[in-house]
Structure 1
Amino acid sequence: MDLKSRLHDSLRGARKTTLSKFEGLTEYDLRRPLTPTGSNLLGILRHLGGIEHAYLCETFGRPLPPPPLPDDWDEELWHNGDMWVRSTESSEAVLAWYHAACEQADQTIQDLDFDSPGEVPHWDENHRSTTLGDMIVIVLGEECRHGGHIDVVRELVDGRAGSDYGDFGDPARWEAYVARVQAAADHYRGIG
């Protein structure tokens, strides 16, 4: 398998893992902020759709309809505005748009060569030139990084952790493990 195919497989795997974290949740749980900076599941997914759209569609002249955004959207996009979903916005529309962005990105990857040139419109004018290979690596990195955020936020919603959570043991074993981690941290409580 060539490098492009291996990276594409990894990208599809990261997306699949991300989407599995959305199963069985209420609208409230999809949207509620669970970190001091407001991280929430649906907002992170919208952001990831924007990354797929910008770097693997627009960069190679393969536009997709823009993401579903409220009518009064403004420059907030560049200030975490794409990291949450307003109450007037449909979670179904955000999920559908993410799927559409990924499908178009997949088509780009399938149709173009690894070294096919592209230009990122929102990058500095002197540094817009890139290749499909570079963009696959960037998008894969973003999917994995934000996938980790989604893992943590999902665990905060209902305790559901990664696919190997059950392999470690039952809840009592996890409690004992966390107690050991806390004890190690407590050793340094109050020390510089």
Structure 2
Amino acid sequence: MIDEFAKEYLHDDLREVREALVWKLDGLSEYEIRRPLTATGTNLLGLVKHLAFSNARYFGEVFDRPFPDTVPRWDDEDAWKNEHWATEHETREQIVGLYQLVGEHTDATIKALAIDAPGFVPWWPRPHVKLFNVMVHSLSETTRHAGHADILREQLDGAVGMDQGSKALHGHDSEYWEAQCAMIERAARAADSMR
């Protein structure tokens, strides 16, 4: 009983965070979704592409349920060089479409297997895993990258939240957050001047 509850709970959270990540691209230009926004090149479309490849491997190769489309293997070092960004020849529609197909494949794998179904992750130090391990890992990784996307999107146009309808964060409007940031800035400067 607890196994099915845990599986469904993790699966629901994974689906929800996948949707949140995709909407972070809505309403932005091609340049905005592709441009590097950190010193390491992190960008919105690259996050989606990376998670598409990653989840295709985790819910495909790991459980001997290969994703039916072309996705670079985990040990293809050349593919890793391009996994976190989109070339000018890759379209938003292609990458988001791939991510959605991978999501469907992931959902089918999760539905088909028991939470304790064995898998093999050759790139992990302890490669013998269960579906539970991979679900927790994938949820953690997707949530982490959705958090990156939150920050990147907020930097671009101020959009925040889990979906396009979010007009306020934690029930507060932009005036509240401007005042909050000013207060935090004053505290940071005051603490720095005390050192």
Which of the five TM-score ranges fits, normalised by the shorter chain? 0.7 to 0.9
Within 1, Cα distance between the matches of 2:71 and 2:94? Answer: 9
Report the Cα offset of residue 75 of structure 1.
2.7
- Does 2:167 correspond to 1:167? no
Alignment check: 8 A CA contact 2:22 2:96 kept:
no
Segments of 5+ residues of structure 2 without an aligned counterpart are none
Residue equivalent to 1:96: 97
| Alignment-derived partner of residue 63 in structure 2 | 60
Query: Does structure 2 conserve the Cα–Cα contact (< 8 Å) formed by 1:46 and 1:94?
Result: yes
- Written as runs of structure 1 = structure 2, the 5 A alignment for 1:175-190 is 175-189=178-192
User: What letter corresponds to residue 147 of structure 2 in structure 1?
Assistant: G
1:128 aligns with 2:131: no
Tell me, in whole angstroms, the C-alpha distance in 2 between the residues paired with 1:78 and 1:27: 22
User: 1:78: how far off?
Assistant: 3.6
- Per the alignment, residue 109 of structure 2 pairs with 108
Cα deviation for residue 67 of structure 1 reads 3.5
- Per mean C-alpha deviation after superposition, the further-off stretch among 54-63 and 132-141 is 54-63
What is the rounded CA distance, in whole Å, between the counterparts of 2:71 and 2:80 in structure 1? 14
The structural deviation recorded for 1:105 is 0.5
- Helix, strand or coil at the partner of 2:171: helix
Report the Cα offset of residue 173 of structure 1: 2.3
Structural mapping, 1:32-51, within 5 Å: 32-51=35-54
RMSD: 1.9
Pairwise CA distance, 1:32? 0.8
Query: Per the alignment, in what secondary structure is the counterpart of residue 17 of structure 2?
Result: helix
- Conservation of the 8 A alpha-carbon contact between 1:118 and 1:132: yes
Deviation for aligned residue 1:166: 7.5
- Opposite residue 70 of structure 2, the aligned amino acid is P
The number of residues matched between the two structures is 183
Give the TM-score of the pair, scaled to structure 1: 0.87
What is the identity percentage for the equivalent residue pairs of Structure 1 and Structure 2? 38
TM-score (norm 2): 0.86
**1:165 partner SS:** coil
Q: Distance in 2 between matches of 1:47 and 1:112?
A: 24
1:11-90 equivalences under 5 Å are 11-64=14-67, 65-67=69-71, 75-79=77-81, 81-90=82-91
Structure 1 runs not aligned, ≥5 long: 69-73
